[in-house]
Amino acid sequence: MKDHIYKVIEVVGSSTNGSDEAIQNAIHTASKSLDHLDWFEVAETRGHIVEGLVAHWQVRIRIGFRLENND
């Protein structure tokens, strides 16, 4: 197995349906412009409240992706 080097970025996903969908939205969008996505971790979860109910979720995640090694 080769050793890998990773770059880590932070993105914020959002959803009106829940934190899981906010995470999926963030990863799906990041995968459109980045290759070799390997892992994520949730850094922060927050929401917007309207009339006593959760109206919107935001989740800040760190995504790790492998850098290409052309050696």
| Domain edges within the chain | 6-66
Q: 3-class DSSP state for residue 63?
A: strand
pLDDT digits (tens, 9 = 90+) for 2-61: 788 999 999 999 999 999 999 999 999 999 999 999 999 999 999 999 999 999 999 999
Higher-confidence position of 70 and 58: 58
- pLDDT for 6 equals 92
* pLDDT band at 70; cut points 50, 70, 90: low
The phi-psi region of residue 8 (left if phi > 0; otherwise alpha if psi is between -120 and 50; otherwise beta) is beta
Please check the confidence at residue 71 and state whether its pLDDT lies above 80. no
CATH architecture under which domain 6-66 falls: 2-Layer Sandwich (3.30)
